[in-house]
C-alpha cells in the first residue's frame, strides 16, 4: 500500500464503531423462521436447473428438502459430499449468476430461492457442532504433494485423504486458505471464517501443511516428483499485470491485491491509511472489492475506471450494483494513459475508448481524474509454470487436470479452462483427486 505519509492519505478516517458496521457480514445468516420460509419456496424440481448451474453439482433440491424437514446436518453432508468448502462458497459464490439465476422461481417471479443463504445455514449448523462428516479410509501407502493451499488445493487434499492417501500441502504464504484467506473482501468472510474452515477441513486427518514453501524458490517439480507418488499444482496466479503507462511507478500507484491482502490481515482497520480520492483501474471482482473497501474505510470519492462497457465487466452486475450502492462511481469505456504529479496528489489521465470492428481503440478524448491513490486491478499472471506446457498464460490441462508431465496434475486459477471462481477451483481439485487416486491404485488412465 501507499505510504501513510503521502499527502491526502490518512488513517483513522472513521471511528471503530463505523468501521465495525461497514465491515459487518454482507449477508447476515438467516433466522430460524426465515430458514423455514426460504426452504418452503423450493419446488424440489426433477432435473433441477440449479444443479446444472452449480460447478460442483450439489444436489440443491435434496439439501433444501432436508432443511425443510429439520435435518440441517444431513443437508450439510449433502453439500459437503460435492463441495468440502461449501461454507465459504455459500458466502462468496456469485449465486446470482449461477444456481439462483437458473432457479425456476427467478424465471416466474423474479425472486429465486435463496440457495446461497440456505447453504450457509446448513454448513454453518454442522460446522458449529465441530462435526466432520467424513472419515478417512485405510492408508493406501501412497503419498501426494499439493502445492498451494487455496480452494483447489484444499479440496484436492481432502478428497485424497478420504481415499487413504497421505497428503503434504506446501504453501508460499504464512497461512493456508489462498484466495479465501487473502484475496476477497473482508465483509464477505467475517470472524476469521477462512482459517476456521481450513482447521475444520484438516480434522479428517492425513493432511500436513508446510507454509512458506514456494514452487520455484523452495520447491522444484523434479524434487516433488521424486519424493511423492503424484503432484497437484494449485499455485494460483501470483504475478500481477503491469499498468505500463507513464508515471505508473509513482508512490500513489499500487496493486489492488496487495491492498486487499493488507486489509484482510489487519487487526485494526482504523490504522489503515486511505486517500480521500481513490481510483481503481479494472473491471473484475478484485477491482470491485478494492473500490468498495476503500469507500468503507472512509474514502470520499472512489472511481472504478474500466476500458470497456458495463456488459464486458467480469464482475457480476450484482457486484457492480453493490459498488454503486456504496457510492462508488463506475466509469466505463476509458483506458489509462498516464499518471502525473499535481500538487500534493496525482492526476490519472484516461482516454475514452470505442470498439470498432471488434477492436478496442482510443477516441482521442481524454479525462483527468484527481487521485490520492490509484489501485491497479487489471488481471494476474502465472508466476511460475514448473516447465509445464502452457495454454495461453496458464498451465495446459486435459481431462481432470492432467498436465503435460506424467504424475503431475493442476487445477484452480493456474490451470487452463474454467472460470476463476472459488467454486470452480473446488470442483477441479475434487475431480483431480479422484483421477489421481484411480491412477495411483492402478485404475484405467
Domain limits of the chain? 32-128, 143-238+382-440, 240-379
Cell of 94: 456469485
The CA distance from 250 to 231, in Å, is 41
Which CATH number does the domain 240-379 belong to among 3.50.50.60, 3.30.200.20, 1.10.150.120, 3.40.50.300? 3.50.50.60
The CA distance from 108 to 72, in Å, is 27
Q: Do domains 32-128 and 143-238+382-440 have the same CATH topology?
A: no
pLDDT of residue 445: 46
DSSP 263: H
Q: Which residues contact 397 (CB under 8 A, 6 or more apart)?
A: 391, 403, 409, 410, 411, 415, 416, 417
The CA distance from 265 to 1, in Å, is 13
Closest CA relative to residue 160, chosen from 182, 181, 139: 139
- E strand residue ranges, 11-108: none
Beta carbons of 165 and 437 less than 8 angstroms apart: yes
Cell of 79: 453439500
Cell of 182: 487473502
The CA distance from 121 to 119, in Å, is 5
- At the top level of CATH, the class of 32-128 is mainly alpha
Q: Per DSSP, what are the bridge partners of residue 371?
A: 346
pTM (2 decimals)? 0.95
The per-residue b/e assignment along 131-167, b for 16 or more CB within 10 angstroms, e otherwise, is: ebbbebeeeeebebbbbbbbbbbbbbbbbbbbbbbbb
Superfamily of domain 143-238+382-440: FAD/NAD(P)-binding domain (3.50.50.60)
The CA distance from 281 to 182, in Å, is 20
- In order along its 445 residues, the chain shows pLDDT tens digits of 444 456 789 999 999 999 999 999 999 999 999 999 999 999 999 999 999 999 999 999 999 999 999 999 999 999 999 999 999 999 999 999 999 999 999 999 999 999 999 999 999 999 999 999 999 999 999 999 999 999 999 999 999 999 999 999 999 999 999 999 999 999 999 999 999 999 999 999 999 999 999 999 999 999 999 999 999 999 999 899 999 999 999 999 999 999 999 999 999 999 999 999 999 999 999 999 999 999 999 999 999 999 999 999 999 999 999 999 999 999 999 999 999 998 888 999 999 999 998 899 999 999 999 999 999 999 999 999 889 999 999 999 999 999 999 999 999 999 998 788 999 999 999 999 999 999 999 875 4
pLDDT of residue 342: 87
Angle, vertex CA 191, rays to CA 189 and CA 196, nearest 5: 85
Amino acid at each position: 500500500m501507499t505510504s501513510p505519509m503521502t499527502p491526502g492519505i490518512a488513517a483513522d478516517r472513521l471511528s471503530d464503531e463505523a468501521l465495525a458496521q461497514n465491515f459487518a457480514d454482507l449477508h447476515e445468516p438467516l433466522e430460524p423462521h426465515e430458514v423455514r420460509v426460504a426452504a418452503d419456496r423450493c419446488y424440489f424440481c426433477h432435473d433441477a436447473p440449479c444443479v446444472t448451474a452449480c460447478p460442483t453439482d450439489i444436489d440443491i433440491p435434496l439439501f433444501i428438502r432436508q432443511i425443510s424437514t429439520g435435518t440441517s446436518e444431513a443437508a450439510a453432508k449433502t453439500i459437503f459430499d460435492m463441495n468440502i468448502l461449501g461454507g465459504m462458497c455459500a458466502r462468496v459464490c456469485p449465486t446470482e449468476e449461477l444456481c439462483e439465476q437458473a432457479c425456476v422461481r427467478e424465471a416466474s417471479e423474479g425472486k429465486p430461492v435463496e440457495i446461497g443463504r440456505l447453504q450457509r445455514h446448513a454448513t454453518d449448523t454442522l460446522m458449529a457442532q465441530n462435526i466432520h462428516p467424513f472419515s478417512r479410509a485405510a492408508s493406501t501407502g501412497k503419498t501426494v504433494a499439493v502445492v498451494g493451499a487455496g480452494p483447489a488445493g484444499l479440496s484436492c487434499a481432502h478428497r485424497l485423504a478420504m481415499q487413504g492417501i497421505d497428503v503434504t500441502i506446501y504453501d508460499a504464504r504464512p497461512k493456508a486458505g489462498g484466495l479465501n484467506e487473502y484475496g476477497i473482501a473482508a465483509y464477505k468472510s467475517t470472524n476469521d471464517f477462512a482459517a476456521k474452515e481450513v482447521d475444520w477441513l484438516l480434522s479428517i486427518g492425513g493432511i500436513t501443511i508446510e507454509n512458506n514453501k514456494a514452487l520455484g524458490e523452495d520447491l522444484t517439480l523434479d524434487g516433488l516428483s521424486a519424493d511423492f507418488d503424484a503432484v497437484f499444482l494449485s499455485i494460483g496466479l501470483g504475478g500481477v499485470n503491469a499498468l505500463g503507462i507513464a508515471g505508473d511507478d509513482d508512490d500513489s500507484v499500487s496493486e489492488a491485491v496487495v491492498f486487499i491482502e493488507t486489509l484482510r490481515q489487519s487487526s485494526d482497520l482504523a490504522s489503515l491509511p486511505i486517500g480521500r480520492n481513490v481510483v481503481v483501474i479494472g473491471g473484475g471482482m478484485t477491482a470491485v472489492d478494492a473500490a468498495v473497501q476503500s469507500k468503507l474505510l472512509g474514502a470520499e470519492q472512489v472511481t472504478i475506471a474500466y476500458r470497456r462497457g458495463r456488459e464486458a465487466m467480469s464482475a457480476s452486475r450484482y457486484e457492480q450494483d453493490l459498488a454503486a450502492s456504496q457510492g462508488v462511481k463506475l466509469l466505463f469505456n476509458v483506458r489509462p494513459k498516464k499518471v502525473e504529479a499535481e500538487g500534493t496528489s496525482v492526476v490519472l489521465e484516461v482516454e475514452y475508448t470505442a470498439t470498432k470492428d471488434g477492436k478496442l481503440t482510443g477516441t482521442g478524448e481524454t479525462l483527468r481524474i484527481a487521485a490520492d491513490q490509484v489501485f491497479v486491478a487489471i488481471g494476474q499472471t502465472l508466476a511460475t509454470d514448473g516447465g509445464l506446457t502452457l495454454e495461453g498464460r496458464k498451465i495446459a490441462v486435459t481431462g481432470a487436470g492432467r498436465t503435460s508431465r506424467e504424475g503431475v496434475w493442476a487445477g484452480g486459477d493456474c490451470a487452463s479452462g474454467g472460470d476463476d471462481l472459488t467454486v470452480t477451483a473446488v470442483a477441479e481439485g475434487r475431480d483431480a483427486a479422484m483421477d489421481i487416486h484411480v491412477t495411483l491404485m492402478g485404475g484405467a488412465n
